[in-house]
Amino acid sequence: MAIEVTNVNFENEVLNSKLPVLIDFWAPWCGPCKAVAPVLEEVEKEIGEKAKICKINLDDAPEIATKYSIMSIPTLMVVKDGKVMDTKVGALPKEELLKLINQYA
């Protein structure tokens, strides 16, 4: 299950993570975000302990979205060692998500 990230746990779960982190910036009112959710669950099962998946609800953590200049959702971002490695906008298929995270895992 993806980790829900807020302003409170962002630093610990994302920036200080020993593993690469795939962040899903989303909102409950976003149709494409809902389409990505089950795909992310499949990806999470396949990557196992190589990386972790976090979800950031923009309605609950707008400061984080502003800090990373999130303009559209869903936005998927890979963070490794506290640094943004890659960012993709839009609903991606499972194969592309696996490729995205595996290159940093």
Residue 38: band (very low, low, confident or very high) from pLDDT cuts 50, 70, 90:
very high
pTM (two decimals) = 0.94
Residues 6+ apart with CB under 8 A from 96: 88
Predicted local distance difference test score (pLDDT) of residue 1:
81
Return the closest-CA partner of residue 56 out of 89, 23, 85, 30: 23
Tell me the two tokens of residue 86. Answer: 């890659």
pLDDT of 48-69, one tens digit each? 899 999 999 999 999 999 999 9
Rounded to whole angstroms, the Cα distance separating 93 from 91 reads 7
Residue 70 has pLDDT above 90, yes or no: yes
Report, as residue numbers or ranges, the catalytic residues: 30, 33
Residue-range domains of the chain with CATH: 3-102 (3.40.30.10)
Residues 36, 70, 66, 99, CA torsion sign: positive
Q: Is the peptide bond before 62 cis (omega within 30 degrees of 0)?
A: no
Mean per-residue pLDDT over the chain, rounded: 95
